[in-house]
């Protein structure tokens, strides 16, 4: 099984800050990775697919990069509506594997 290690598990940031979240896969997954945002009481929403492609309707301040085993989600300028929990998901092989999540909180 492929393990996904996500860091940090939480972070505090201010509006306007640049935020970076990382996921590491235990083995190569090409670019078979997505990034999701989840707000309390809501379903996860995909932001990025294929590691670096922006989902339609998602603001351009979100970007993804990486391939193989190292992946990054970047929020270029944090907005109030971005305070949420973020997860990576590998879909290269089953069982699917989620990262442990990163809670982005207001500083």
Give the residue from 57, 29, 48 showing the smallest Cα distance to 87: 48
Residue 54: both structure tokens together: 């922006």
- Measured from the CB of residue 30, what is the shortest distance to another protein in angstroms? 14
- Measured from the CB of residue 31, what is the shortest distance to another protein in angstroms? 13
Q: Is 95 in the site for another protein (CB under 8 A)?
A: yes
Binding residues among 20-49 for another protein as defined by CB under 8 A: 34, 36, 38, 42-46, 49
List 57, 81, 94, 107, residue binding another protein (CB under 8 A): 94
Q: Is 97 exposed, middle or buried (0-12, 13-18, 19+ CB in 10 A)?
A: buried
């Amino acid at each position: 099984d492929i393990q996904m290690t996500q860091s940090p598990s939480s972070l505090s940031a201010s509006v306007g800050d640049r935020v970076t979240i990382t996921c590491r896969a235990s083995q190569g997954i090409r670019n078979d990775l997505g990034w999701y945002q989840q707000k309390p009481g809501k379903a996860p929403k995909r932001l990025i697919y294929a590691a670096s492609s922006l989902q339609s309707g998602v603001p351009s301040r979100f970007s993804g990069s990486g391939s193989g085993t190292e992946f990054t989600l970047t929020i270029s300028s944090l907005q109030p509506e971005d305070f949420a929990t973020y997860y990576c998901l590998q879909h290269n092989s089953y069982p699917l594997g989620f990262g442990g999540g990163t809670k982005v909180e207001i500083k």
